[in-house]
Amino acid sequence: MNKFKGIIYIICAGFFFALMTFFVRLSGDLPTMQKAFFRNAVAALVSVVMLMKSKEHFHIQKGNLPTLFLRATCGTIGLIMNFYAIDKMNISDANMLNKLSPFFAIIASYFILKERANVVEWITVAIAFCGALSYQPPFQMGV
């Protein structure tokens, strides 16, 4: 039962992220920073409400502050870049770049963290990038 719920949650998450991308594009000529601000404001509001409903206490240890701020900064930069790509590229191409983030993480972990990936992981990275590079012109009606 939990496996089925997990599958449903993953499908729903993909659907709602696609809707978010659609609405970001639909929002028109608003500046990218404004779109990012309001997306993060809604996410912060939902997070605070969920945290207040739970009985968990929110406490950050002082030793974790630098890495927490680094993660927040990198996440914000990534979100801004994603929204900029949505505004300037085809939605499908922008989403494809966004979905490649786990593969970029494997590459970055090799250079930054000095982690060693196994052969299967490197093969999947190569396959993912080959799939992303195989460009097909968009379908055009009436041409």
One digit per residue, the tens of pLDDT, for the chain of length 143 reads 889 999 999 999 989 988 888 898 888 889 999 999 998 999 999 988 998 888 877 788 889 999 999 999 999 998 999 899 888 888 888 888 888 888 888 999 999 999 998 999 999 999 988 888 876 666 655 54
Instruction: Look at residues 21, 37, 40 and name the one whose alpha carbon lies nearest to residue 82.
Output: 21
pLDDT for residue 137: 60
Q: CA 86, CA 93: separation in Å to the nearest integer?
A: 8
Model pLDDT, residue 55: 80
